[in-house]
Amino acid sequence: MLLRVDITFGVVLGALLIVAVAVAALAQLGRAREIAVAGVRAAVQLGVVSLVIGWVVGAVPPLLGFVALMYAVAVRTAGRRVTGNSTWWWAAVPIGAGVAPVMTTLLLTGVVPTKGIAVIPITGILIGGALTATVLGGRRALDELHARRGEVEAGLALGLLDRDARMEVARPAAADALLPGLDQTRTVGLVTLPGAFVGMLLGGASPVLAGAVQLFVLVALMAVQAVAVSVVLELVARGRLHREERVPRAAPRGRSDGTGRPAGP
């Protein structure tokens, strides 16, 4: 058993959450409340999932419903992290474009058995990876476009299309979203032993089988994240996903602009 779940476990877990919140508050990171809420939510959500997982994996309708719920929550979370306006729902495209073809291929080829106990964790891992890549790629691209707005305008002045001018500025920044997954894959076995590997070992699998499963997860994640970053970058470059609020229309000529003077020259 990896962890002993008892009263001591609960006390230590609570203490670690308090430490995380306290450090974030003392360092003025601005995320103390979010850390606290995330910790409590994780405990509640995992508790509920632990209670209903047996029912979910036993029949197709609840299985599909649970996968749809995971996808919807990921879209909402990623979209709201990237932007606060009504374009947040575009986050559904990169997450779906990354996860759907990879998961379909794995199921059709039989690499992942069509059983709930296998589909739910693999789908969850892939959706989580797509969520992270979408958030990082989208935020970095939009931040870069805001900071280097002058370069975008310079590109337009040189004759570039709006999409191409934005892409030249945003692409290098968005590509950084792939670094966490790349580093995890490059250092696996040397720096960390990821969850899938440890879980397989604890379940009684051989080290070779555990290593194969972990390798499969890491490579699948790189494919999902590469697609997600590419798609969210395209959406940002085309202006589908943005942070700008709608610009008010100019007052018609000859009408007052609100200062008591005519709006026209």
pLDDT score for 158: 87
Residue 83: phi, psi to the nearest 5? -150, 155
Residue 193 tokens, joined: 């032993």
At 225, the amino acid letter reads Q
Residues in the chain where the model's pLDDT stays below 70: 1-3, 57, 192-205, 245-265
Distance of CA 234 to the CA centre of its chain: 16
C-alpha span between 262 and 258 (Å, rounded): 9
How many CB atoms within 10 Å of residue 46? Answer: 10
Residue 245 tokens, joined: 């609020």
Percent of the chain, pLDDT > 70? 85
C-alpha span between 241 and 89 (Å, rounded): 9
C-alpha span between 66 and 124 (Å, rounded): 10
Q: pLDDT for 113-132, tens place per residue?
A: 877 778 888 899 999 999 99
Model confidence pTM above 0.85: no
Q: Measure the N-to-C terminal CA separation of the chain; round to a whole number of Å.
A: 79
pLDDT score for 201: 64
DSSP-assigned letters across all residues of 242-263: --PPPPPPPPPTTSB-SSSSBS
Angle between helices 116-147 and 207-237 (to 10 degrees): 40
pLDDT score for 50: 76
C-alpha span between 33 and 125 (Å, rounded): 26
pLDDT score for 8: 87
Nearest to 95, CA basis, from 138, 144, 42: 138
